[in-house]
Chain A
Amino acid sequence: MNRSNGWRARFGRLLGGFGVAGGDSGALLQTRYTVLDAEMTGLDPERDELLAIGAYRMIGARILVGERFYSLVRPEKDRWGPSVPIHGIRPVDVVAAPPAQVALPEFFAFIAGTVLVGHGVEIDRSFLRRTAERYGLPFPRGLWIDTGRVARWLVTRHGTFAEASADRGRFGLEDLLAAYEIPCPARHHALADAYATAQVWQRQLYELAEEGIQTIRDLRLAGLA
């Protein structure tokens, strides 16, 4: 069956080489998270570049308003795709911003020892990983949780990445914010989106607990991390 193949494979891989502060049996409501969102010049990690990273620290379901990371990133190439109208970051906004080789190490220091959470986080992750590789920076190992997939799982009780992608229309951040009645001070701003995502994760933590998913291990068994 496709479904079990999906999560068994992931499960095995994750069990293989994985080390996160708090450990495998760490309770979700005690774990330290970094909830992040990145803005890019486009959607292709090979050709496009990071423009902004925003992130909030959560301890369990508590969002720490003052413990956040935000940086604009100056891209190397002058490749400004059609994404500008979405995030509103213009070339002039990033001329004084640090380049990726400065911003990324700072961000990696911020996320050290935390579980990473994002909405459709796979794309943020591949950009971060690709950028790190490009500059020869070590890419920190860690556990990544996609709130989009969690949302889908909560509805359907199963959720591989492919299924989640196919269903993206239903579980977009916008849809979740509307469903949970979470107002967002400014959409498509990395920091504001990270904050909105953190609030989604906050609610999902409780909903997962109701489904008996209370530890990192439970989450992995469900194929959600």
Chain B
Amino acid sequence: MDDVVLGSVVEFLRRVPPFQFLDEERLERLTKRVEVHYFPRGAVLIRRGERPPEYLWVVVRGGVKKVLRTATGEEHLFEVASEGDLVGVLSSVDGLEGQLDDIAVEDTVCYAIPRTVVEELIASEPAVARFFLGALREWVRASLTALERQEEPTDGALVLSAPCRTVARYPLLTCPLGTTVRRAAQVMSAERVNSIVVVDANGRGVGIVTDWDLRERVIAAGRSPEVPVEEIMSAPLVTIDADRLLLEAVRVMIARGINHLVVTEEGKPYGMLTAFDLLVRQGTSALFLARALERETRVERLAEILEQAQRQLLPFLLSRGVRASEIAQIVSEINDRVIARVLALLEQELGPPPVPYCWLVFGSEGRREQTIRTDQDNGILYADPPAGAEQAVRGYFLRLGQWAVERLVALGFPPCPGRYSADNPEWVLTESEWRRKFRAWMSVPEPQAVLNSLIVFDFRGVHGELALATELRDFVRRELAHSPRFLFHVAAVSTAQPPPLGFLGRFVVERSGEHRNQLDLKLGGTGAIVNLVRLFALEHGIEETNTLARLLALRESRAIEPALAEDLARAFEFLLELRLRVQLEQLQRGERPSNHVDPRQLSSLDRTLLKEAFRVVARAQAVVRERFHLEQAGE
């Protein structure tokens, strides 16, 4: 292509949903109707209540905030659209008047797609239509709710870990080379399908003719319907073996920007898989992956599915605009099920547990905030055994802990370097022992011990007798009410690490070592927020362990300033997402995921938002310091 500019626009849009669902030609034709718009900082793209804009914008560089201004002039920020995000979806799809004010937060470049073009796309491309109807996010939410209610899926449970043959539509309609277009169209019409595969004398697929080809390359181009199909077919045919997983099929479709994938068996066309089939259900399938794990009995298969979830599902969901916190929920659903599955298999090997027990997870797992798998932090809580049986019962659970941790390591959950895991006898305890342990932490607090115990306070029961965990939570809450000194120590620990922002709001990066010129997104960022919010939650007797859920509860009970709660939630969500994006990129480069990032490598919008997030952390820490009369850290 002599047109490097058009090429670069196509390249960009190819990675942006919903345009990535378009085939190559369609995308190129769309691109020719794109305009490049520029909005200086502060310029208004859409004004609430005004007539709908003539364009749908894709942010190329910069950022656009979507805000709602109340009658009193208060500004509520809904989201900030950045690179690859869309502005004006509602207006361009439904012709609605502006719902929010959309304002450039920095100098912003957008590709602008005229509304008429968007309307044509929606009319002709089901995948695009679905996307715009915003169904995906709703699916993820609805299915999370459904999962909570333990409802069985009703839509046939499409699982992305299933082989392609399970959902391919077959038999496949084929015609030999030399068939006239008229004949092919007649067959398609009679069979009520929108595509036909052209095969050679050996039965190998060489191309595909879709409704689109008929419309664009025959009717619109004024060709005779008597020409052979090879003149108008799309070739070469992109295929996938019937035994490959659906996740792989999704990956191919995204990478190639195509909608139809021919499923082959021993090289011969066998069935058809369309993006539509996959995409309309993909949101829920992330969760049905978890169900597949539940049914899986072979441990090595579990590892494979998990690996796929991490490598493909996460980037996939992230690219679809699913929030990092939602992804973390999905991941913890999956992880919980793996853990439960491993334990259930072990219970079969070791024999049934002698007394009821509950498998506890701590730290990020306990808070359902794990995305990329990190260390396992877990323990066992079991009912007080009958007198005389203590040793035997303890022996059983020590072995269960040992084995379970080993199995989980084999599945790719890294061991915990600090030994906060169930293969350490310190974390395999009876109910009474756990209570004594918590009481000791709270009654005679000592800074190092407080620091070490904090992640355990985020415990959550995953498998077994969950009521045991609930009772322990109640106990901790009651004890805390009489432990003001403990909260003081938690407050000191929680404000010890200031965010890496220095003089005039510049980033403070490390000066030497492995992470030279980088800053830690966790230490003064997500971790700092987790600590602060945990402190508030412990102080106000909130049982939730998830940071966002804790904030919501704190806000509803008016325990902290609603504006602060909201800012913390937003900052946390942003930091979580940024960290996930950085880690996925590191994984893709074959590096070990870390919490460090070089701020110079972030987009200017990310840098701006990162500073905002750090400022929120600093503000919340100041609030805590004042409340607990603490000295400024580091002074």
Contacts and interface: CB of A to CB of B under 8 A. Distances in A.
Interface of A: 56, 61-66, 68, 70, 180-181, 185-186, 189, 191-192, 195, 198-199, 202-203, 206
Given A181-B61, A191-B2, A202-B38, A66 B33 contact: yes
Interface in B48-80: 61
B6 A186 contact: no
B8 A185 contact: yes
A192 B4 contact: yes
A185 B5 contact: yes
B3 A68 contact: yes
Given A65-B34, A206-B38, A206-B40, A189 B61 contact: no
A68 B6 CA distance: 10
B35 interface: yes
B109 interface: yes
B138 to A, nearest CB: 33
B2 A70 contact: yes
A132 to B, nearest CB: 24
A181 B134 CA distance: 33
Contacts of A56: 5
A99 to B, nearest CB: 18
Contact of A185 (B7, B32, B61, B109): B7
A62 B36 contact: yes
Contacts of B33: 65-66
15 contacts: A62-B35, A63-B37, A65-B6, A65-B9, A65-B33, A66-B32, A66-B34, A70-B2, A181-B604, A186-B4, A189-B4, A191-B5, A199-B36, A199-B38, A206-B38
A212 to B, nearest CB: 16
Interface residues of B, number: 24
A12 B96 CA distance: 50
A191 B1 CA distance: 12
B40 A192 contact: no
Given A181-B61, A185-B5, A206-B43, 4 more contacts: A56-B5, A66-B6, A195-B5, A202-B36
Contacts of B6: 65-66
B112 interface: yes
A61 B32 contact: no
A203 B40 CA distance: 8
A24 to B, nearest CB: 25
A203 B3 CA distance: 23
A70 B3 CA distance: 8
A203 B38 contact: yes
B343 to A, nearest CB: 52
Interface of B: 2-9, 31-38, 40, 43, 61, 107, 109, 111-112, 604
B57 to A, nearest CB: 12
A195 B9 CA distance: 12
Contacts of A62: 35-37, 112
Nearest to B62: A181
Indicate the member of A65, A181, A202 with the most B CB atoms within 10 Å.
A65
Cβ-closest 6 pairs across A and B: A66-B32, A63-B36, A185-B8, A202-B38, A195-B5, A185-B4
B110 to A, nearest CB: 10
Interface of chain B: mostly helix, strand, loop or mixed? mixed
Contacts of B40: 203, 206
Contacts of B36: 62-63, 65, 198-199, 202
A56 B3 CA distance: 12
A202 B33 CA distance: 18
B38 A192 contact: no
A65 B9 CA distance: 9
A62 B43 CA distance: 15
Contact of A61 (B3, B7, B8, B38): B38
Nearest to A202: B38
Contacts of B3: 68, 70, 191
Nearest to B32: A66
Contacts of B4: 185-186, 189, 191-192
Given A185-B8, A189-B4, A63 B61 contact: no
Nearest to A189: B4
Contacts of A61: 37-38
A63 to B, nearest CB: 4
Contacts of A189: 4
Given A185-B7, A199-B109, A206-B38, A65 B32 contact: yes
A70 B5 CA distance: 11
B536 to A, nearest CB: 40
Nearest to A182: B109
Given A185-B7, A199-B109, A206-B40, A63 B2 contact: no
Nearest to A192: B4
Contacts of B2: 70, 191
A63 B109 CA distance: 11
B605 to A, nearest CB: 12
Contacts of B43: 206
A65 B109 CA distance: 14
Contacts of B9: 65
Contacts of A66: 6, 31-34
Contacts of A186: 4
Given A181-B61, A199-B109, A68 B37 contact: no
Contacts of A181: 61, 604
A181 to B, nearest CB: 7
B377 to A, nearest CB: 43
A180 to B, nearest CB: 8
Contacts of B112: 62
Nearest to A52: B2
Nearest to B60: A183
Nearest to B61: A181
Contacts of A195: 5
Contacts of B7: 185
A118 B109 CA distance: 20
Nearest to A62: B35
Contact of B5 (A68, A202, A203, A206): A68
A192 B5 contact: yes
Contact of A65 (B35, B61, B107): B35
A68 B36 CA distance: 13
Contacts of B38: 61, 199, 202-203, 206
A64 B35 contact: yes
Nearest to B111: A65
B537 to A, nearest CB: 42
A186 B604 CA distance: 23
Contacts of A68: 3, 5
Nearest to A180: B107
B88 to A, nearest CB: 15
A62 B54 CA distance: 13
